[in-house]
Amino acid sequence: MTDLIVEHHGVPVLVCSADGPRVAGAQDALDQLIGGAFYRADVVAVPAERLDARFFDLSTGLAGEIMQKFVNYRLRMVVLGDISHHLRASSALPDLVRESNRGGHIWFLPDLDALAARLAPAAAPDAAGPGPVVSDAFIPDAAAPDRASPDSYSG
C-alpha cells in the first residue's frame, strides 16, 4: 500500500503506509511525513510500526523533536496502532499519550476508525439549550488515575 490522502468529516488526512520507510529522526519526519502532507493534508496518520523504537523511549528526545516539527508546521500527527508494549516499558510514555490525546495536535489512536470518530464534528447544542458546550478535556479529573494504563492509550 502507498501513502494516500483520505478525507474524514471534511479534514484531509495523509494515511501513511505501514510498509513505508522507517522514521528514525526528525529529518525523516520532514522528508517522509510532513513534506508529503504540507500542501494537501491537515493530519498525518502514521502507523506505530513506521516509527523507530527510540520514538517511544522518551529519554532519547526523538518523540519531542518529531512532535515539535508537526506543531511548527501546523499539522496534526496521529500515531496509529497498538503501542501497549511501549506503554508497559515506560513510566513516562503513558503520561505523554494521555496528555497528547487531550490536546488537538498529537494523538495516539488504535486505528483509522478511531481517527474518523475523533475528527467528527461535535454535536451542535440545541438552539433552546443553555448555550455552547464547554469541554472538560483540559480540566484534571480528581478521580482519574495518575497514569494511563497500557490499555487506555486511545484517550
pLDDT digits (tens, 9 = 90+) for 59-102: 999 999 999 999 998 999 999 999 999 999 999 999 999 999 99
Residue 31: predicted pLDDT: 87
Least confident of 2-6, 33-37, 50-54, 58-62: 33-37
Residue 116: predicted pLDDT: 95
The mean of the pLDDT values for the chain is 81
Identity (one letter) of the amino acid at 18?
A
Q: What is the residue whose three cell numbers read 522528508? A: 31
What is the Cα–Cα distance from 134 to 131, expressed in whole angstroms?
A: 9
Q: pTM score, two decimals?
A: 0.76
Angle at 120 between CA 66 and CA 77, to 5 degrees: 5
- Percent of the chain past pLDDT 90, that is, above it, reads 65
Among candidate residues 77, 86, 27, 35, the one with its CA nearest the CA of residue 56 = 86
Mean pLDDT of the region 134-149: 35
